[in-house]
């Protein structure tokens, strides 16, 4: 028996705001949506995919993400190339996103993988990365993985 990640569920404070971010900026498609006032949610996935949810947004949070509490550390989203990472970086900058580091950074010293690190509208930590192509990119910390403490 092998477990695989089915989908990730995130609590959000404002579903409309989060949908705008995940749909319009990151490109997720809306697969299903619950619109009852006290039970709002959205299942998100690939527009060209198999219709399975990748991410579910639940409007039930009372405050923003807090890295000091146990739970989700960050959500890493993989793309095929560093050029695609940079395309997302441009779209996210245009949207006014808060970045943890300036530009594409390597996952650790000497790593070929790397990406961008930023926060969604509720402060949840996110990463868009490519498995290769980040050779020579700066490393924010020589003593820990880049994704560990942003």
Which pLDDT value is given to residue 57?
A: 97
- Min mean pLDDT across 44-48, 94-98, 146-150 is at 44-48
Taking only the tens place, the pLDDT of each residue in 135-144 is 999 999 988 8
**Under 8 Å between Cβ of 132 and 85:** no
Q: Spell out where 5-141 has E strands.
A: 8-12, 29-36, 39-45, 55-59, 75-78, 105-106, 114-119, 125-130
Contact 28, 54 (CB under 8 A): yes
- Rounded Cα gap, residues 61 and 120, in angstroms: 14
At residue 3 the predicted structure's pLDDT band, cuts being 50, 70 and 90, is: confident
pLDDT for the residue numbered 86: 97
Model pTM?
Answer: 0.92
Q: Tell me the pLDDT tens digit for each residue of 57-84.
A: 999 999 999 999 999 999 999 999 999 9
Evaluate the CA torsion angle 135, 137, 138, 139 in order and state its sign.
Answer: negative
Comparing 15 with 5, the larger pLDDT belongs to 15
Bridge partners, residue 9, by sequence? 56
Model confidence at 93, in pLDDT bands (50, 70, 90)?
very high
């Amino acid at each position: 028996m092998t477990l695989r990640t089915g989908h990730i569920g995130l609590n959000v404070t404002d579903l409309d705001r989060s949908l705008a971010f995940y749909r319009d900026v990151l490109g997720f498609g809306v697969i299903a949506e619950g619109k009852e006032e006290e039970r709002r949610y959205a299942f998100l996935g690939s527009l060209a995919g198999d219709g399975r949810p990748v991410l579910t947004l639940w409007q039930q949070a009372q405050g923003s993400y807090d890295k000091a509490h146990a739970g989700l550390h960050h959500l890493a989203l993989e793309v095929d190339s560093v050029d695609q990472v940079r395309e997302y970086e441009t779209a996210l900058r245009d949207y006014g996103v808060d970045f943890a580091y300036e530009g594409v950074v390597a996952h650790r010293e000497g790593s070929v993988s790397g990406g961008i690190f930023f926060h969604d509208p509720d402060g949840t930590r996110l990463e868009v990365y490519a498995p290769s192509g980040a050779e020579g990119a700066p490393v924010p910390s020589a003593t820990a993985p880049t994704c560990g403490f942003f």
